[in-house]
Structure 1
Amino acid sequence: MGFLEGEGTFGIKTGSSMYLQVAQKNTSIYCINAIIAFLNSLKSNLLKDSKILPINILSTINKKTNVISISISSVDALYYYILPLLDNSKMYTFKKIDFKLWRMALLLKIQGYYYLPAGKKLFLDISDILNKRYSTGSIENLDEKIEDIFNRFKAILTIDPPFIVKDNIPHVDNVRRFRSENKSDSPKTIYIYDNDRLIKGSPFNSYSDAHKALGLKSTSNTCNRYLDTNRIYKSKYILTSKPLSGSRC
């Protein structure tokens, strides 16, 4: 845990990919190998016939800094293998708050709340704090925002989770099933507003067309991240599945 508190990262990449990372100088290769061996030795309480894949550790090196990073990014591995270890460990630095936020995000993901509008908004708010705490200096009203996140997390847990974790079904399979069963709930129209005014071509009938209008690749994840979340994309665009009241065409 010392390595994790010192050089570890509880991260959420742009979009929704979660990861746990530990970095060390390449002169500490023995430490890196020992950490990898330890992580690979972790056990889980998965059912014997579970299709959950075993833990997979990615190792990369930054040639400019000679820093080796090892990371785990599978939601299943983070939940079934890593989280039990972290839940039974004590943290003494500022990483304790990072872990609590990251843990909430992981539970939102693995239990399927992320795929509900309120859950996605909460997940993205957690992501914002984790990604801005150390890159942009102080965050205004940080304590109040964190308290709000905790309260919203407690509230969303009162809803039955979309995914039943105890069934040990791989996360990707749960997502595929959920999306198939809820196709009718998926927004078919995307409205994009710039200063309360619809941009040219809006509304759009597909994520692909909306992304192209924003100058993005058609395969971008932007609509998934911003649609109906009240979050502003690039400090100017609002994406909704329904027209905004009082907006201008």
Structure 2
Amino acid sequence: MQFALPIFILPDFVNFTSGYQFPKLSSLGIKGLSRVNSEFLAWFSGFTDAEGSFSIVPNNTKQTIKFQFRIRLHQDDRSVLDYIAKTLGIGSVFMDNNSVVFQVSSNSEIQDIIIPIFKAFPLCTTKVYDFDKFCQAVNLKLANGSYTDNLFKETLALKDQMNTQRSPSLLAKASIIDPYWLVGFIEGEGTFGIKASNPYFQYAQLASNDALLNSMAQFLTKLPRAISTPIIHYVPEASKPSVSLNKRTNVITYSYASIDFFYDYLLPFFLAAKFYTRKYVDFYLWAIVIICTRFGFSKLPEGIQLIRRIYNCINKARYSTAINPSSIVTQAEIDAVFSLDSPYSNPEIVLSHSTEQNARLLSPGRSGKQINVYDNGILMEGSPFNSQADIAEILGLERATGSTLIGRYLKSGKTYKGRYTFHFKGIKNG
């Protein structure tokens, strides 16, 4: 991977037999970029749609204009901007408080490199309208040389139609999604997140980009399934996102929460992708949470603790400027959990049922579910027990209320009365 990102290894029982195949893109012969592969440039277009900006910067006193292309990121993400600058052979990278900026302000570099890139690999969000006005302003300069009063005013008029001053009536269009563009966009605007120990995936933009976001959803819905077990559990609606609009910010969010969709379709797609930013770390650790949940390790105290560790070290929590920054989860921590016996007996059986169906097999009173009780780390006589109510009775509790109490300790992995811990035993095959 790029930039000394951690090299993570998935557990042996994760075996995708097929999945999405990223296409090989032909070179478009951009002068000065013959050495740069088209896959990177398509990714760069998506990343720019998420994080880039085009600016016309006037000097009213001297009546001159400066053109700028910028990508601004958190200071911890400098490595990707250094890589972009080195790969394209243009621009500069500098620190600005807690941010790092990649900037191209040379007229020749903008004319010969930046503009041709986005002509060949078009932007898809409403940022394309900023790019259009930007190109018009650059062309005015090229055609006329020095600025007359009228030319200066004409350029300022273009500036006043860009970025925050762009007309709200300008909407992004539905698009045929390029997978490399999509990965770049997700590295900038996507979130591989965890909420209440449950993984989710989302992407968001201003509501003027809704048609584009819907095109992305359609692309993800059509991803190929990457495992060969019979599809007896999958519900097509699981691949459809929930869509919400924040009326205060006018931001629309597409969000997904299906473990089965993640494991069978989305996870293999991003595993096949090439990441250029530290979003790779978020993605991989998010993938570990999916695997923990799909195969039942999230039911174990060690799995619960691992998910908490992951939650505390991804996305904003991984930045050096976070209130309580946490170290990245290590491969050793991950391996320690996956070396345990899963509450689920057989990966093939697991994958032929939905995550919800497998979870029901472990619920109180269901056949095949048993629980070990440890007293100060020593297996308690009578283990494994067939129900939480039986455990409650042994511990001198009323069966009904005690069963609920034991269930909470099972889920949290905490120690009861400073001595008792509860662990699921593997369910019966079939």
**TM-score, normalised by the number of residues in structure 2:** 0.43
Question: How far, CA to CA, are the matches of 2:295 and 2:256 in structure 1?
Answer: 19
Residue 146 of structure 1: aligned partner: 329
What are the within-5 Å matches in structure 2 for residues 10-49 of structure 1?
10-14=192-196, 16-44=197-225, 45=227, 47-49=229-231
**Cα offset, 1:77, TM superposition:** 0.9
Question: How far, CA to CA, are the matches of 2:370 and 2:320 in structure 1?
Answer: 38
Check conservation: 2:318, 2:326, Cα contact below 8 A.
no
Residue deviations 1:63-109, cap 9 Å, x none? 11111111110111111111010110011112111112111111111
Question: How far, CA to CA, are the matches of 1:182 and 1:118 in structure 2?
Answer: 19
In structure 2, the CA distance between the partners of 1:95 and 1:57, relative to structure 1 (3 Å rule), is same
Question: How far, CA to CA, are the matches of 1:68 and 1:115 in structure 2?
Answer: 34
Residue 337 of structure 2: aligned partner: 156
Residue 87 of structure 1: aligned partner: 271
Count of aligned residue pairs for this structure pair:
205
Question: How far, CA to CA, are the matches of 2:292 and 2:246 in structure 1?
Answer: 32
The alignment's C-alpha RMSD in Å is 3.0
In structure 2, the CA distance between the partners of 1:51 and 1:40, relative to structure 1 (3 Å rule), is same
What SS does structure 2 have at the residue aligned with 1:129? coil
The residue type equivalent to 2:402 in the other structure is N
Could you tell me which runs of 5 or more consecutive residues in structure 1 were left unpaired when the two chains were aligned: 190-203, 211-220, 229-239
Identity of matched residues, %: 29
What SS does structure 2 have at the residue aligned with 1:64? coil
In structure 2, the CA distance between the partners of 1:130 and 1:224, relative to structure 1 (3 Å rule), is farther
Q: From the CA coordinates, give the structure whose radius of gyration is larger.
A: 2
In structure 2, the CA distance between the partners of 1:48 and 1:156, relative to structure 1 (3 Å rule), is closer
Matched, 1:5 2:187: yes
**Cα offset, 1:35, TM superposition:** 0.4
Check conservation: 2:318, 2:325, Cα contact below 8 A.
no
Could you tell me which runs of 5 or more consecutive residues in structure 2 were left unpaired when the two chains were aligned: 1-182, 373-386, 393-400, 421-430
**Cα offset, 1:6, TM superposition:** 0.9
Residue 122 of structure 1: aligned partner: 306
Check conservation: 1:5, 1:93, Cα contact below 8 A.
yes
Residue 182 of structure 1: aligned partner: 369
Check conservation: 2:204, 2:251, Cα contact below 8 A.
yes
What are the within-5 Å matches in structure 2 for residues 94-113 of structure 1?
94-113=278-297
Residue deviations 1:142-170, cap 9 Å, x none? 33x522xx212112222343334433210
In structure 2, the CA distance between the partners of 1:184 and 1:134, relative to structure 1 (3 Å rule), is closer
**Cα offset, 1:47, TM superposition:** 4.3
What SS does structure 1 have at the residue aligned with 2:418? coil
In structure 2, the CA distance between the partners of 1:3 and 1:123, relative to structure 1 (3 Å rule), is same
What SS does structure 1 have at the residue aligned with 2:254? strand
**TM-score, normalised by the number of residues in structure 1:** 0.71
Matched, 1:241 2:412: no
**Residue of structure 1 aligned with 2:402, choices 205, 211, 231:** 205
**Cα offset, 1:205, TM superposition:** 3.0
What SS does structure 2 have at the residue aligned with 1:37? helix
Residue 232 of structure 1: aligned partner: none
**Cα offset, 1:59, TM superposition:** 1.1
